[in-house]
Amino acid sequence: MNQQERKRILLIDDNIPLLRVLGDFLMFRGFEVVVAESGEEGLEKMVKSPPDIILLDISMPGMGGIGFLKRIMSNNGTLPYPVLVFTARTTTEDYFRGIPVDGFIAKPCDKSELVNQILAILDKHKKSVLNSILVGEDDQGIAARLVAAFREAGFEVDEAATGPEILEKAVVCMPDIILVKRILTGMNGDSVVSILQAMPRTQSIPVVLYDSGSIVKNVEEEDRLARIPGIAKYLPSDDAVELVRKVKEILHCPA
């Protein structure tokens, strides 16, 4: 595995000797390894160093593996990164009904088998990767319409109804693009964009700002909004067809 192909593994386990042994082995095999001794620490490390895959123990104090997975799972039941779970017995898999982990491996594990599973999971996700979008809309009806339109267009979609929720999900899920309504309850969309631009982790995510179709169009205001740093496009409309078209254009997706 050369430097350009180097993949980052987030290894979460409260067994410190195991962390050291597996971490050293995986680094020897060419992976970059970030370790965490708890689910809570795993969340912090995931935000600071987004992984290509997560290796997760279940029986840990505090949040535990299940709590960690539920914390990072999106509203539509997807996980932001592939997850391989360490399990001491096969019956443990029964606890994962409805949680889309990518596989299980016995603990203690055969190191060669572990590497083979990691490579197979990474290869699977490389072939099936989708463009992801975070939709920020506080009107449930409009949100449902936009989410349906983007899923129909082949996007992986997550949604948020408030400014703080948009910011949190942007950091955790790292979508390819964010769609935000300009006027939101509590925090307007342009304020959300300003905060996203101030955070190194999210400042490179393009944002499309849009308005309700009932907003009176003003050319000067449209020009001002379009020039705000971080806004890839401003549209004075919540028309789903037009928003999908513009997002695809920004991401260079096939029409």
What is the model's pLDDT at position 99? 78
If one counts the domains in the chain, the total is 2
Residue 238 structural domain: 132-251
Q: Which of 125, 154, 187 is the last residue of a domain?
A: 125
Please check whether residues 146 and 111 belong to one and the same domain: no
Q: Where residue 71 sits, what CATH number does that domain have?
A: 3.40.50.2300
Please check whether residues 52 and 114 belong to one and the same domain: yes
Contact yes or no for 37/14 (Cβ under 8 A): yes
Whole-structure pTM over 0.75, yes or no? no
Report how far residue 42's alpha carbon sits from residue 68's, in angstroms, rounded to the nearest whole number. Answer: 8
Q: Which of 125, 144, 164 is the last residue of a domain?
A: 125
Please check whether residues 7 and 120 belong to one and the same domain: yes
List the pLDDT tens digit at each of the 255 positions of the chain. Answer: 444 468 999 999 999 999 999 999 999 999 999 999 999 999 989 888 889 999 999 888 888 888 899 888 877 778 888 999 987 655 555 666 667 888 888 887 888 899 999 999 998 887 566 789 999 999 999 999 999 999 888 898 999 999 999 999 999 888 999 999 999 988 999 899 999 999 988 999 999 999 876 555 666 777 777 778 889 999 888 999 999 999 999 998 766
Q: Which of 98, 125, 152 is the last residue of a domain?
A: 125
Instruction: Using CA atoms of 72, 73, 78, 83 in order, give the dihedral in degrees to the nearest 10.
Output: 50
